[in-house]
Amino acid sequence: MANARRSAAFIVARWIATKDFPSSMLPQDRDRAFVQDLVYTTIRRIRPLRKILGLLMKQWPKGELEALLYVGAAQILYMPDVPDFAAVSETVDAAKGCENPSIAKVVNGVLRNVIRRREEFEKMVADATLEERESFPTALVRRWERRFGAENAARLCAWHNTPAETFIARRDGSFVKLERGQRVEDVPGYADGDFIVQDPGTRLAIELLDPRPDERILDACAAPGGKTVQIAWRGASVVACEVNPKRRRRLEENLARLKLGVEVIPELPASQTFDKVLVDAPCSNTGVLRRRPDARWNWNGEKLAALVKLQSEILDACASRVAPGGVLVYSTCSNEPEENEAQVAAFLARHPDFSLEESRESIPFESETDGAFAARLRRTPA
């Protein structure tokens, strides 16, 4: 599987250089499951991997060499199903395809040293601080410790370092967990649009929205379309808005596979009002870090503040689209209070014609689903 290691190294190298979404770079071939596992494991564990490799290299490697060392060490230290000999030989074979012929020799020597000093490195990592051991930004772990306590912060880190299961949601509202490695496209009913890929954590927003057949509903931040589909399946007339052209195309493709005639628009309608509006807002993704391992490395206080500002702007824009007496449901896949309870409180202070009816939050170490938040807000009748 040398080509699989080379594909993984290419994705890791590109991610380091560009911060592009790793999920968008995965191959669509028989090696996809292994490549995804290797890439995601590497990105999840990159903090201790960097420390370990730094002890073995006199000068920090760049480009292909850096990526190959990361994926090789990740297999040895964090993927017990991969034998050491395969981790070394296959990664070295992948390195032989590099333009610089000396890279393979360096990869071989460094990875053999990782194996030789494994016990030393494993003890070093085990004795490290929580954020170093579990590989998270220090500031993010500190805020989790303040909110949940040290023990639960450790449980949350462990949850997000566990490879995510794949769930499908069916028209009857049920969720089914797929066997690990099973291709979604091979599940009976895929081509007929009988299901969507969606974690049970997403049900919070749909349950609070409670779509009914006689209602007209706006999904204001619709891509990739999972919640749009759930609304349509319940018989409501739904309009899906997505301003990002690339994400809008993905939304339209998903709706086409599911054979749903949903109206898709590129911007909020100027003067229309709806019985209900769903704002599934862009967020920091801290509830879904096991699915988005790269998102932890995008997190910082400045980006959080920018997201909070964007969320408030979207909410303000959508408030006028809710008919008098109607409902606005705000949701995120974050577990950060600034994006959730505090965001709702600030909205209500700006919009006294709305009131909070109910809010729910899924904390992964409690719910054993993705983290999520949803709040149901009612506009005062005319």
Residues marked active site are found at 333
User: Residue 236, Cα to own-chain centre: how many angstroms?
Assistant: 28
How many CA atoms lie within 13 Å of 201's alpha carbon, on the beta-carbon side? 26
For 51, residues 6+ apart whose C-beta sits below 8 A from its C-beta are 124, 125, 132
How far, in Å, CA of 257 to CA of 190, rounded? 8
109 closest CA partner among 94, 88, 90, 93: 88
Residue 212 identity (one-letter amino acid) = R
Place of tokens 């959508």: 318
Q: What is the largest CA-CA distance in the chain?
A: 75
Element (H, E) at 251: helix 245-257
For residue 189, the SS3 value is coil
Closest CA to 331 of 237, 243, 231, 257: 231
d(CA 29, CA 183): 11
Q: How far apart are CA 73 and CA 76, in angstroms?
A: 5
